[in-house]
A and B are shown apart, each in its own frame.
Chain A
Amino acid sequence: MIEFVRQVRQYHELIWALALKELRVRYKRSVLGFFWALLNPLLMMLVLTVVFGTLLMRLSLPHYSIFLLSVLLPWTFFSQCLSYSVESIVNNGELLKKVRVAKLVFPVAAVVSNIINFLLSMLPLLLLILAVRFPIHWTWIYLPVPMLGLFLFTQGVSFIFATVNVFYRDVSHIIQIILQAWFYFSPIIYSLDFLPGHYRWIFRLNPLLYVLNGFRLSIYYGLLPSLPSAALSLGLGIALLAFGFAVFRRYEKRFVYYL
């Protein structure tokens, strides 16, 4: 962990430049440019609200769109990060074979660029809340905790997938399926309360649950999570980052022979 912080500090300029490059390239040559970062989650929310909130479930939740969006945004961040970072080492293979660069800059830059995207995407949520006259709860001030937990967790998982993908390219094929399963397995379009009690323990094994819960509680319900739940959302993030970075460090010297 200390080593992670040290390296990130040492290469922060490079990481920042790579992250901005990522964003610039992503939105270049599209008419709406950065607006896509705002528009995308809104459109996604619209689709899901129509399908699940109106047609399928007929959930009697007030403001289903906000119920959904409060966790859909962090989820989108997570899934986009993974889609990007899984290829982050492989895509920079040509470079890594020629120049000595700290390899961690690529997966970290992938996450940082998506953090920017994610923070931007909070804006439409705020606009939506204002538009439908939903209250802005004081519990918003708790949001930095699940955010930090989410960022650390995502970074850890990104390290693992980026590493494994160097050795087994199968990972980049399978990741979309994993993400899709994970999406339905997580309480995003639904809430755990909707499930029969004796199934719930399976869903509690989901390490993302606590982070997502934190977002939904504080944005939608105006409540704070229990202390253990809050601790878990941060603790799991730290644990995953430490583990993921350890895996990455262990194999990074061998990357160059497999690129």
Chain B
Amino acid sequence: MGSESYSVEFCDVVQRFRRIRERPDTLREVFAKIIRRRHTFQVFEAIKHISFKVSKGEAVGIVGRNGSGKSTILKLAAGVYEPSEGRVTVQGTVAPLIELGAGFHYELTGRENIVLNGLLLGLTKRQIKTREERIIEFSELGDFIDSPVKQYSSGMYMRLAFSVATEVDPDILIVDEILGVGDGAFQEKCFERIRRFREAGKTILLVTHAMDQVRTLCDRVLLIRGGQLADDGLPDFVIARYEEMLGRRLPEPALQK
């Protein structure tokens, strides 16, 4: 197999952050540090030498406890972070469903936000116009689409954001813990849409704590623990290990630091 058949490839990836507590935030602190001649920030490794490959069309779940590094992996795949070490290769367009509606502006109407958000996610204006009606229909917003987003309920807001993000029609869909969108009926629609994505041969990376979602949607699961890949395999098997880990309440190495 050529490397083209992988859509996401992590090659010995390390991601380091400076611990924010120690970050010089103001000039005063900087001066204080220059005078004292020392750098007091601590380096924190969120991801420690992770390698994995995701084939085209695979739906991969990423599980692990809070702070284990799941979201960092997604942000690396989405290109928000550049790895401190190693290499992340992504083939195809990526649509992140990481905390929906990050680009929405409260004063603008739903319709205006569709255009702005679509552009931010990399669509052209023409592409957005052809998809606009479908987005509005899927979001079930009706007349509210021409009201400013600040008047929306949180459910309406999420529905619109989900509709835009999934209409982007990416090769790779990145989903972070967002399938709690709207009421039961809408959630079912979202699931349906993600399933259709799968059937269309798109790659999916899914982070969630809801194990039943992982079981129904994913072909494969990565278990992350303390920034390292603890397991990689079939959903039932890895989930069982994860639940066992949770049951024994193994402390997260990352949290101990």
Binding site for B on A (CB under 8 A): 13-14, 17-18, 21, 24-25, 28, 94-101, 168-170, 253, 256-258
CA–CA, A21 to B119, complex, Å?
Answer: 13
Closest 8 CB pairs of A and B: A100-B79, A14-B119, A98-B102, A170-B27, A98-B98, A95-B102, A25-B107, A95-B103
Which B residues lie within 8 Å of A168 (CB)? 25-27, 30
Q: Which of the 9-residue segments B108-116, B192-200, B209-217 touches chain A?
A: B108-116
CA–CA, A21 to B104, complex, Å?
Answer: 11
The interface centre, meaning the residue of A17, A96, A99, A258 with most chain B CB atoms within 10 A of its CB, is A99
Given A169-B26, A170-B26, A258-B23, A94 and B105 touching (CB < 8 A)?
no
Given A25-B107, A25-B108, A168-B26, A13 and B99 touching (CB < 8 A)?
no
Q: Is the CB of B121 within 8 A of A99?
A: yes
Q: Is the CB of A21 within 8 A of B30?
A: no
Residue of A nearest to B108 (CB): A21
CA–CA, A101 to B112, complex, Å?
Answer: 19
Given A28-B107, A98-B98, A253 and B17 touching (CB < 8 A)?
no
With A99-B96, A168-B27 known, 11 other A-B pairs at CB within 8 A are A14-B119, A14-B120, A17-B116, A25-B107, A25-B108, A96-B80, A97-B75, A98-B75, A99-B103, A168-B30, A256-B81
Q: Is the CB of A13 within 8 A of B124?
A: yes
CA–CA, A257 to B16, complex, Å?
Answer: 10
Supply 9 A–B pairs (Cβ within 8 Å), ascending by A: A97-B102, A98-B75, A99-B98, A99-B103, A100-B78, A100-B80, A168-B27, A169-B25, A256-B81
Determine how close the nearest CB of chain B comes to the CB of A15; give it in whole angstroms: 9
Interface residues of B in 78-110 (CB under 8 A from A): 78-82, 94, 96, 98-99, 102-103, 105, 107-108
Tell me whether B125 is interfacial, beta carbon within 8 Å: yes
Q: Is the CB of A257 within 8 A of B18?
A: yes
Residue of B nearest to A18 (CB): B116
